[in-house]
Amino acid sequence: MPYPVLPRILSARVHTFGQYLLQRYGQRVHKLALHAGFTCPNRDGVKGHGGCTFCNNVSFSPNAQEPPPLDAQLEAGRTVVAKRTGARRFMGYFQAYTNTYDPLDALRQRYDSVLRHPDVIGLSIGTRPDCVPEAVLDLLASYQAQGKEIWLELGLQSADDRTLERINRGHTFADYRTTALAAAQRGIPVCAHLIIGLPGEGRTAALSSLQQVLEIGVAGLKLHPLHVVQHTRLALDWQRGSYQPLARADYVDICADLVERTPPTVIYHRLTGTASRDILLAPDWCHQKWAVLNAIEAELCRRDSRQGDCCNFSHHQLVSSA
């Protein structure tokens, strides 16, 4: 096995979100993932039908359980995290599905219910690039004006419209550009989500997506490998052999390439990810999150490089507001 399994200090080579929060707040701040009961317009016909080809839709079934109230989720999450990490400050991470997909008052009510907790310093709002009306951006900007830490997480996945169509995203790169620029105008930091190993994509496509996101200007990035999970169209492709997930070594190599080409001002919120063991079919290596992170760090170490070392952007080209 070429990579060590003990956690290394990735933040010596990558500008991580944990490092950013520690520097800004002088203490550990932990994100608590929340399920606020939203759904998705890519399934109900408003933006598209059928959902993304990789998205597990079990939770959309009529028998899916309602999530617990947000207060209860926060309480449970902070208790576990405080015990494990000692963190005393938290961010509410509206993670599940499309967290801007409701009338403005309903959004405000949910966001406010999390922000009113004194140990919650802000929110991260995960959503689709084509589902963020100006009024929602204004609401987020108003929280920021009150001193809250606010991030808008946009699931772009790829900057190639052919790929976006192939995976049935139901939005285009132009949608992402419009929302990212509208957020930047208000000083709201955007974290772009990119998936490595989408059907028909490899290193070249990943580098191209990064380049296009950087050209628009971005404050943060999240990378993860494409997961094949049960009850998806991607799972059928994988079972038929028409889709092959990336090998771990290839994922690590591409991630290192992306990190080297990312300006040091941009914050990496995530460099890998996994899906629930109950539904994950492939690739099996993505269960081992720390091993993957160690491998990325080891690869950067082997190259004797760090974030921004192969970057051809000057800092004035960035609209980063974080």
Q: Which tokens go with 140? A: 């987020």
DSSP 3-state of 136: helix
Identity of the residue, 51 or 77, whose beta carbon is nearer to ligand SF4 in the bound complex: 51
Instruction: Render the burial of 92-126: b for 16+ CB within 10 Å, e for the rest.
Output: bbbbbbbbbbbeeeebbebbeebbeeeebbbbbbb
Q: How far is the CB of 52 from ligand SF4 (least distance, A)?
A: 3
Q: Which stretch binds ligand SF4 (CB under 6 A): 47-55, 73-81, 142-150, 310-318?
A: 47-55
Identity of the residue, 98 or 144, whose beta carbon is nearer to ligand SF4 in the bound complex: 98
Identity of the residue, 40 or 275, whose beta carbon is nearer to ligand SF4 in the bound complex: 40
Q: Residue 284's Cα: distance from chain center in Å?
A: 20
Identity of the residue, 155 or 245, whose beta carbon is nearer to ligand SF4 in the bound complex: 155
Residue 55 binding ligand SF4, by CB under 6 A: yes
Residues 152-171: x where in contact with ligand SF4 by CB under 6 A, - otherwise, as a string: ---x----------------
Q: Across the beta sheet with 149-157, what order do the strands follow?
A: 29-34, 89-94, 120-127, 149-157, 190-196, 220-225, 267-270
Q: Which stretch binds ligand SF4 (CB under 6 A): 36-44, 182-190, 243-251, 259-267?
A: 36-44
Q: Which stretch binds ligand SF4 (CB under 6 A): 39-47, 114-122, 175-183, 288-296?
A: 39-47
Choose, by CB under 6 A, the member of 3, 20, 51, 115 that binds ligand SF4: 51
- The backbone region for 26, taken as left when phi is positive above 0, alpha when psi lies in -120 to 50, beta otherwise, is left
Identity of the residue, 228 or 252, whose beta carbon is nearer to ligand SF4 in the bound complex: 228
Choose, by CB under 6 A, the member of 10, 21, 29, 40 that binds ligand SF4: 40
Choose, by CB under 6 A, the member of 128, 222, 224, 227 that binds ligand SF4: 128
Choose, by CB under 6 A, the member of 17, 94, 97, 268 that binds ligand SF4: 97
Choose, by CB under 6 A, the member of 13, 15, 31, 43 that binds ligand SF4: 43
Q: Name the phi and psi angles at 249, rounded to 5.
A: -60, -35
- CA pair distance 142, 159, nearest whole angstrom: 29
Choose, by CB under 6 A, the member of 42, 179, 209, 272 that binds ligand SF4: 42
Residue 132 binding ligand SF4, by CB under 6 A: no
Amino acid at 135: A
Is the bond leading into 283 cis (omega within 30 degrees of zero)? yes
Q: What is the C-alpha radius of gyration for the chain, rounded to an integer number of angstroms? A: 19
- CA pair distance 289, 310, nearest whole angstrom: 25
- Which residues bind to ligand SF4, rule: CB under 6 A? 40, 42-43, 51-52, 55, 97-98, 128, 155
